């Protein structure tokens, strides 16, 4: 009998607190979630719900967390090794802030390859630029010479350089216009199909999450209040009144 495949991301009893003494604040409180290989999992909630903190803890960007995080079946420690970053990469919300302003696209994309000792740097950069829909003409440009959508394409290309299996996406389109958002979401769907990627997507935008994800966890005040499928979300089949409120507020006249 074949062994069942380990989930791409397993989070159990994750707790993150900031500050100390009376000012101590629990940002993430006993959160557990399972992201299966090849699926898109959405994490939704309002500001301060802890959704981005969960993502940052998984990515190793936060030092003080408790609980268990396993990526592709391997428990991760407080410090992440190189092998970890070949499994998992992150795309941030603000393409204006996440790219080094004085590095060309070429340098941004080649840096992870050099750090990890990859060969065929030239060919890999050319291939990835083609995959994210930017031609070779963009290779020696600086971020300020790119539009918001083009920058987010570069940020996605950077995340893909090490050929990871998993992408953590933190509000990847919320700084973009709706027509550019559509292009980036389509690009993410294409890349997922092409490379069998697993996505963990954080967003406050329920229609975006319903479009991209199979399963969704709703967070509030550091806790997961409920998990439901995208279909249940579209049909407003939510068990918790908070989720119902969020859904009602997200439905405009056009929905």
Partner 1 sequence: MTSLLRVEDLTVTFPKRGGGLVEAVRGISFSVGRERVGIVGESGSGKSMTGRAILRLVRPPGRAAARRIDFDGIDLQSLSERKMRGIRGQRISMVMQDPKFSLNPVMSVGRQIAEAYRLHTGSAKGEAAAKTLEMLAAVQIDDPERVAGLYPHEVSGGMGQRIMIAMMLAPDPDLLIADEPTSALDVTVQRSVLAILDRLVRDRGMGLILISHDLNLVASFCDRVIIMYAGRIVETCVAGALDRAEHPYTQALLAALPRLSAPAERLAAMRRDPAWADAASVDAHA
Residues that bind partner 1 (CB under 8 A): 46-47, 148, 177-179, 181-183, 185-186, 189, 204-208, 210-211, 230, 233-234, 245-247, 249-255
Cβ closer to partner 1: 108 or 171? Answer: 171
Cβ closer to partner 1: 106 or 183? Answer: 183
- For strands 9-18 and 166-170, give the pairing: unpaired
> Least distance from C-beta 207 to partner 1, angstroms?
4
Counting every residue written for the chain, the total comes to 255
Gap between the Cα atoms of 128 and 115, Å rounded: 17
Residue 108: closest CA among 161, 168, 163 = 161
> Least distance from C-beta 45 to partner 1, angstroms?
9
Cβ closer to partner 1: 72 or 246? Answer: 246
> Least distance from C-beta 50 to partner 1, angstroms?
14
Cβ closer to partner 1: 135 or 252? Answer: 252
148-160 vs 105-115: helix axis angle to the nearest 10?
A: 20
Residues 89 and 80: beta-carbon distance below 8 Å = no
Cβ closer to partner 1: 80 or 223? Answer: 223
**130: number of Cβ within 10 Å:** 12
> Least distance from C-beta 247 to partner 1, angstroms?
7
Cβ closer to partner 1: 155 or 238? Answer: 238
Cβ closer to partner 1: 157 or 246? Answer: 246
- For residue 69, give the 3-state DSSP assignment: strand
> Least distance from C-beta 204 to partner 1, angstroms?
7
Q: Beta partners for 71? A: 9, 74
- Which conformational region is residue 18 in: left (phi greater than 0), alpha (psi within -120 to 50 degrees), or beta? beta
> Least distance from C-beta 15 to partner 1, angstroms?
23
Instruction: For 172-181, give one letter per residue: b (16+ CB within 10 A) or e.
Output: bbebbeeebb
Structure tokens at 113: 């390859």
> Least distance from C-beta 22 to partner 1, angstroms?
17
Gap between the Cα atoms of 198 and 214, Å rounded: 11
């Amino acid at each position: 009998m074949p062994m069942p495949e380990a989930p791409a991301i397993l989070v159990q009893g994750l707790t993150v607190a900031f500050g100390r003494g009376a000012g101590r604040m629990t940002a993430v409180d006993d959160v557990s979630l399972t992201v299966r290989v090849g699926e898109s999992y959405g994490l939704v909630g309002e500001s301060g719900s802890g959704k981005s903190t969960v993502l940052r803890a998984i990515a190793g960007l936060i030092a003080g967390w408790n609980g268990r995080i396993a990526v592709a079946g391997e428990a991760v420690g407080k410090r992440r090794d190189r092998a970890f970053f070949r499994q998992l990469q992150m795309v941030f919300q603000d393409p204006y802030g996440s790219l080094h302003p004085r590095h060309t696209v070429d340098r941004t994309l080649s840096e992870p390859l050099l750090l990890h000792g990859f060969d065929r740097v030239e060919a890999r950069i050319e291939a990835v630029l083609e995959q994210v829909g930017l031609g070779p003409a963009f290779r020696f440009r600086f971020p300020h010479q790119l539009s918001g959508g083009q920058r987010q394409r570069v940020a996605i290309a950077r995340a893909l350089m090490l050929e990871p299996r998993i992408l953590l996406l933190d509000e990847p389109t919320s700084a973009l216009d709706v027509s550019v958002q559509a292009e980036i979401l389509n690009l993410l769907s294409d890349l997922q199909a092409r490379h069998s990627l697993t996505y963990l997507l954080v967003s406050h935008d329920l229609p975006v999450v319903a479009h991209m994800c199979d399963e969704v966890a709703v967070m509030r005040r550091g806790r997961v209040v409920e998990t439901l499928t995208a279909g249940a979300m579209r049909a407003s089949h939510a068990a918790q009144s908070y989720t119902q409120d969020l859904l009602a507020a997200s439905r405009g006249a056009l929905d």
